[in-house]
A = this chain, B = another copy of it.
Amino acid sequence: MEKTTISATKYGMTGKFRAKPGEAEKLAAILLEASRQVSVVKGIRLYAVGRDPKDENVIHVMEIWDSKEDHDQSLTLPETRALISQAMPLIDGKPEGVALEMVGGLGVD
């Protein structure tokens, strides 16, 4: 294996949202709308929405940004805040998420 110098390059997030019963489709639609909105925002690399086939109420989001600052900035945009307001009442409990320092890989480098 070639020598690898590992250093954090980008900012990542994995998010897990549990929708209230019957609301998963609507929540996924809001997150897909969010993905379209952020696609033109500075620093966005990935905003991918998936569902867990083993749990119909669970939606996952994977995000990669050039920096934490770019991510945080996106949360201040009025259109982002509007979507968050739409999504919150559909979510059961607290979203789970992990902020990551992306060290590399396909889609990061």
Contacts and interface: CB of A to CB of B under 8 A. Distances in A.
Interface of A: 1-2, 4, 6, 8, 12, 14, 25, 28-33, 35-36, 38-39, 44-53, 60-62, 64, 86, 98-108
B35 A6 contact: no
A37 to B, nearest CB: 10
A60 B104 contact: no
A49 B103 contact: yes
Contact of A28 (B6, B47, B48, B107): B6
Contact of A12 (B6, B35, B48, B102): B48
Candidate in A45, A62, A102, A104 with the most chain B CB atoms within 10 angstroms? A62
B107 A51 contact: no
B6 A101 contact: no
